[in-house]
């Protein structure tokens, strides 16, 4: 995966004081990786994957929660990529 974009802003339908984040990742196998990490999604998350692009959106009230969530997501994506790579080698 490559190209990472994180945007912060207020989206329609989100409560005042909420932090909205969008993480977009592009690359080969985005759909497969999205399917691998989707079971870990929280109720405040949405995940869309198509044409080599994966977009995760979520909201939270605290910046610490935002950072922890992003850290967990990136680690899960890394593990999914490594697993995909290992299975393609066989």
- The predicted model scores a pTM of 0.73
> Looking up tokens 């490594």, which residue turns up?
82
pLDDT-derived band of residue 75, with 50, 70 and 90 as boundaries?
A: very high
Q: Count of domains in the chain?
A: 1
Residue 87 pLDDT > 80: no
> Nearest to residue 21, comparing CAs of 34, 5, 37, 33?
5
- 3-state SS string for 16-73: CCCEEEEEEEECCCHHHHHHHHHHHCCCCEEEEEECCEEEEEEEECCHHHHHHHHHHH
For residue 78, the enclosing domain spans 2-89
Which CATH number belongs to the domain containing residue 28 in this structure? 3.30.310.50
Average the pLDDT over 17-36 and give the result: 88
């Amino acid at each position: 995966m490559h190209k990472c974009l994180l945007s912060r802003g207020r989206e329609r339908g989100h409560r005042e004081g909420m932090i909205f984040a969008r993480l977009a990742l592009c690359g080969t196998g985005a759909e497969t990786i999205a399917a691998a990490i989707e079971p870990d999604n929280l109720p405040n998350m949405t995940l869309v994957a198509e044409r080599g692009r994966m977009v995760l959106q979520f909201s939270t009230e605290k910046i610490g929660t935002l950072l922890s969530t992003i850290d967990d997501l990136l680690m899960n994506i890394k593990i999914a990529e490594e697993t995909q790579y290992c299975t393609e080698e066989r």
